[in-house]
Structure 1
Amino acid sequence: MTRRSPADDAVLALLLEVAGTPKPGNVDRRRDLADLRFESFLGGAVGAREGLARAARGAAIGHAFDRAVAGMAGRARTNTQFGCLLLLVPLLRATRSDDLSPEGLDRVTRDATVDDAVAFYRAFERVDVAVGDPPEDATDLDVRRGADAAPVLRDRGLTLHDVMATSASVGGGSNADGTDRVPDRNAQEWVEGFPRTFRAADWILADEGPLADRAARAFLGLLATEPDTLVATAHGSAVAREASAEARALVSAADPVAEADPVAEADTTDVPGTEPLAGTPPDAGAVHAIDLEAVESLAASFLERGINPGTTADLTCAALYVALRRGAEMGGGVGERTGDDP
């Protein structure tokens, strides 16, 4: 039986993520955006492979990530999968250590160095990445500074894990307009052991049918659970929360027996430093019950309003990689993983 390469599984995850449809607001095999096309994502996935393969061979996280972003940008000619690569690279390193688990990811990310942080910042010079403004006391760590931030990183001894912890902690509190901030979900994955990734991977593994369809359902389950960072950056926290509520309504309609936890739905905006909680994550049965035809109207609405849950797509891609490594097969089955060649 052919041995399965982690780098190939990572590229396949990138391809399956963009092929899944409908994924409301995102590019998929049926929808382009005004400035992003489906074929660009295919090129980005192919271009990123060398950097992903370096991560699978044990290269430093920052170097592998920067190389993957450079390859993506060179082939796609734009930013297609920056956030996906930020999650895939540590997942590949954990695979290399034969510990693709929350504990394994925690060890991998905590082992990241200052040099990894410098390489991460350098990657922002290769493509335009939509990011929010940093806190007033952290403007010298704005990722948009690129390589110019290297002296600050080195002077303070900030590792890539430190940088992600700072980004993750920005959630909670209020924006300048008084609305509650939506945290950086990708940064949260880095410092929390990838809980969203593994939860969505379980949904995909428990689901049936084509992997691209399972990915589309997992995407909606993720969006229904928490507001999307990219939507909040582009449109504000209120719009991001409204978008999640719309997704949550579709998940509830698919499985009306599954009710949201009233404690999780409670308004906590009067508690300093707390983010209002979204619905309880749906279980695998609720995700499997999602009617993708019913999601089409939401996809059209998001497209018309310019709502693009790109961070949710990043998490979906990471979940696909974990599901593939745990035996998810093309054609709707679950098989046995057969090797770890890079």
Structure 2
Amino acid sequence: MGLAPALVAALYRSACLAELDALKPGNVHAYAAGHRMAVADFVTSAEVSAPPLAAAGARVGARVLGAVAATMEAVGQNTNLGILLLCAPLARAAERATSVAAVLADLDARDSQDVFAAIRRAGPGGLGQAGRHDVAEAAPASLLDAMAEAAPRDAIARAYVTDLADIDAVGLPALAAARAAGLAPTWCTTAVHLAYLAAVEDSHVRRKHGPAVAAAVRAEAEALRAGLDLGAAPVAALLAFDRDLKERGINPGTSADFTVATLFADALRTARAGGHAGLHAGAREGIPAARDNADGT
């Protein structure tokens, strides 16, 4: 049997809040200020986007568009487009008790129209123009065709044509390894974020700063990750990298999007297997109160 929409919504909110608790260099988090948004905007976004993201029987595009509209109405800026694009197929698959691959294979013209409308409504930073399937134009009949066109330069588009392969190849193994090492939940989340940042050039960085900067950030993250012991809670080292990225105006938002999606995918799988999914209950011990911060998905 599939999961009830109320549970799917709760697990989605939990994943969003858990990601905010973790120290993720360059992104919005509870440890340090940065950019131009507030942590509270992301908390509000999680709350208002959860019901449409988990709407009973809704298709992927309708989930994304409804959640983007709710977010823009509540906070007036794009805080979660990438998160929603990744989490909507996961939510539909969990409700229908089917695979993500089956959900993506079932995408139709309605999904394409709604996703294109959601992208236009959110107006993600650094989007630019495309030679084919530009979001400023009418949506194509096939959303997967549009995603395939963008896949070489955008990890979220690539996720749609690979059945969210990066979650299985990068995120979930990093989460499992962190748990096996006995890390606290927030440090498990940091481990997931660093795994993405070190393994995959961040699409948001690439859009705004170009491929050379995206490649350099990935290499910097890989070097930092290799020398870190997350079990020792290396706050100072991570905050130093966080400050460096923010001083350069670099915001690896796509890595944060995949981190949320990984936590959500893990919680859904646990719930579908009949286990306890570990709902977020607020800031955990040792995590500073959320302060003004920013991201930009």
Give the TM-score band, short-chain normalised.
Answer: 0.7 to 0.9
1:166 aligns with 2:149: yes
Deviation for aligned residue 1:95: 0.8
Percentage identity across paired residues of the two chains? 30
| Partner of residue 149, structure 1 | 138
Please give the alpha-carbon distance, in whole angstroms, between the structure 1 residues aligned to 2:200 and 2:120.
Answer: 29
Deviation for aligned residue 1:67: 0.2
TM-score normalised by structure 1 residue count: 0.72
Deviation for aligned residue 1:69: 0.7
| Partner of residue 284, structure 1 | none
Please give the alpha-carbon distance, in whole angstroms, between the structure 2 residues aligned to 1:81 and 1:115.
Answer: 21
Deviation for aligned residue 1:196: 1.6
Deviation for aligned residue 1:211: 2.5
Please give the alpha-carbon distance, in whole angstroms, between the structure 2 residues aligned to 1:62 and 1:326.
Answer: 22
2:110 to 106, 115, 129: 115
Indicate if the aligned counterparts of 2:193 and 2:256 stay in contact, CA closer than 8 A.
yes
Deviation for aligned residue 1:222: 0.8
Please give the alpha-carbon distance, in whole angstroms, between the structure 1 residues aligned to 2:167 and 2:104.
Answer: 15
Moved more, 28-37 or 7-16: 28-37
Larger relative contact order (CA 8 Å, sep ≥ 6): 2
- Closer/same/farther in 2, CA of residues 290 and 165 from structure 1, 3 Å limit: farther
- Closer/same/farther in 2, CA of residues 210 and 254 from structure 1, 3 Å limit: closer
Q: Which runs of 5+ in 2 are unaligned?
A: 278-297
Q: Which amino acid aligns with 1:119?
A: D
Q: Which amino acid aligns with 2:22?
A: G
| Partner of residue 88, structure 1 | 87
- The CA RMSD over aligned residues, in Å, is 2.4
Moved more, 24-33 or 88-97: 24-33
Please give the alpha-carbon distance, in whole angstroms, between the structure 2 residues aligned to 1:9 and 1:318.
Answer: 11
Q: Which amino acid aligns with 1:244?
A: R
Please give the alpha-carbon distance, in whole angstroms, between the structure 2 residues aligned to 1:112 and 1:18.
Answer: 31
Mapping of residues 10-49 of structure 1, within 5 Å: 10-21=12-23, 23-49=24-50
| Partner of residue 192, structure 1 | 162
Q: Which amino acid aligns with 1:195?
A: A
1:221 aligns with 2:195: yes
Deviation for aligned residue 1:220: 0.7
Please give the alpha-carbon distance, in whole angstroms, between the structure 1 residues aligned to 2:156 and 2:101.
Answer: 14
- Closer/same/farther in 2, CA of residues 130 and 296 from structure 1, 3 Å limit: same
Deviation for aligned residue 1:79: 0.7
| Partner of residue 321, structure 1 | 264
Indicate if the aligned counterparts of 1:47 and 1:73 stay in contact, CA closer than 8 A.
no
Deviations 1:21-78 (A, max 9, x none): 1x11111112333321111101111110121121xx2211111110011111122221
Q: Which has the larger radius of gyration?
A: 1
Indicate if the aligned counterparts of 1:49 and 1:71 stay in contact, CA closer than 8 A.
no
- Closer/same/farther in 2, CA of residues 185 and 243 from structure 1, 3 Å limit: same
Mapping of residues 288-327 of structure 1, within 5 Å: 291-327=234-270
Equivalenced residues, count: 268
- Closer/same/farther in 2, CA of residues 292 and 319 from structure 1, 3 Å limit: farther
Deviation for aligned residue 1:289: 8.2
Please give the alpha-carbon distance, in whole angstroms, between the structure 2 residues aligned to 1:193 and 1:53.
Answer: 19
Q: Which runs of 5+ in 1 are unaligned?
A: 172-182, 256-286, 329-334
